[in-house]
Amino acid sequence: MKPIKVGLLGLGTVGTGVVRIVEGHHDDLMNQAGSPISIHKILVKDRNKPRSISIDPAKLTEDPLDIVRNPDIDVIVEVMGGIAGTKELILEALERGKHVVTANKDLMALHGPELLAKARDKGCDILYEASVAGGIPIIRTLIEGFSSDRITKIMGIVNGTTNFILTKMSQEGAAYEEVLKEAQALGYAEADPTSDVEGLDAARKMTILATLGFRAHIALEDVDVKGISSVTQEDIQYAKQLGYEVKLLGIADRQDDYVSVSVQPTLVKASHPLAAVGGVFNAVYVHGEAVGETMFYGPGAGEMPTATSVVADLVAVVKNAKLGVNGRQANISYKEKKLKTDEQIASKYFMLLHVEDRAGVLMQIAQVFADYDVSIESVMQPPTPNRQGAELIIISHEATKASMQQVLKAFGNLSSVKAVKSVYRVEG
């Protein structure tokens, strides 16, 4: 059996996990793939850096071209991240007939169609299971497991950092800034947490999932994004009183071939499975016309969970080579993209208003909702003994995004409404 030689771009957390699995599970992988798999060359920033695993120094290089242009290497595994420079390396690898496995969500979200087209043109595979939700095999499930179904909704917690923060805020009553510092100290959040807390990381992952689920190319700019930095302890406690948890959800929805994709803090009914997903765990809920509701749950990041997905893709590449079907992936984005307008996007809404505490105010607010054809499901006025004015918590029945925008604009012109403190989508 001809051994499969792998070039590994990156030896950080995930790269180290890949080496551990390939070397530690050698016999299992050989039986699964039908050929022995070995790490032939590894790209590192510093060859002399101390490492948590023992590696032959002859395998290390600081020049990526030693790997990409090495004729002995069959498969490139890219786990170094980044876009600038990384894209060019992968394109060159494909041009030279090398298969690619990547965990790079940013690259696949922004340049996936181009890379997949190049792979097909060159008869190569490019697989990217680890780019979304770490150890959860959601990408292969969407491509293969749902191939006979029509997916109507994908809804998920796909960023562990924000889920950790919101879980802590909910369970311990801590403030956002306090929990963010703890997440940074634990290594869950970067020194600059913007990508996570403002929803950009989740948006890139939802771009990938929506493209796969709806078979149409969804671009990053098609995703409506709002992060969690404005979520307050007050929001979370009021939500809990009403039987909801606040989660940063990616939501991709399709109706009559029109789609919408968003990332936003959302009130999730406590009885919904997503509400119970805590800490840094991820979960993806998928609804298909035939299968109904399904949910996939597991660790969304980390050395071994993510490396497991990377090596599973590596085994799939070798199996495809044995069958002679490399580069023959189905065209994922074969449908025309039709984005919903604000008049077509509909959901229930939670709204927290600070208003004047006097007779007639609730009637004025109810009239605004009626003017724009938005019906109210429930109203709660919690006691505010030490504050001037009153607070109203309103949950609407399902309403269009356009209608809610008109309601909010009308509130801005209503003297009795002192502030619209929070507005969130409601699911479940």
Q: Which residues are catalytic?
A: 205
d(CA 84, CA 251): 28
Parallel, antiparallel, or unpaired: how do β-strands 417-427 and 346-355 relate? Answer: antiparallel
b/e per residue, 281-299, with b = 16+ CB within 10 A? Answer: bbbbbbbbeeeeeeebbbb
Q: How far is CA 289 from CA 50, 148, 292, in A?
A: 52, 10, 6
The token pair that represents 6 in the structure block: 């792998």
**278: three-class secondary structure by DSSP:** coil
- Cα–Cα distance, 311 to 101 (Å, whole number): 9
- The continuous run of DSSP H or E covering 156 comes out as strand 151-157
Tokens in use for 416?
Answer: 């009795």
Among 346, 344, 407, smallest CA distance to 373 is for: 407
Strand segments, DSSP code E, in 272-416 are 281-288, 292-299, 346-355, 376-380, 390-396, 399-400
- One-letter amino acid of 74: D
Q: φ and ψ at 163, to 5 degrees?
A: -70, -35
CB atoms within 10 A of CB 330: 10
Cα torsion through 54, 59, 64, 66, rounded to 10: 180
CA–CA dist 188, 333 (Å, integer) = 33
Total Cβ atoms within 10 A of residue 27 = 9
Roughly how many angstroms between the first and final C-alpha of the chain, as a whole number? Answer: 52
Token pair for 117: 């087209």
**Strands 281-288, 151-157: pairing kind:** antiparallel
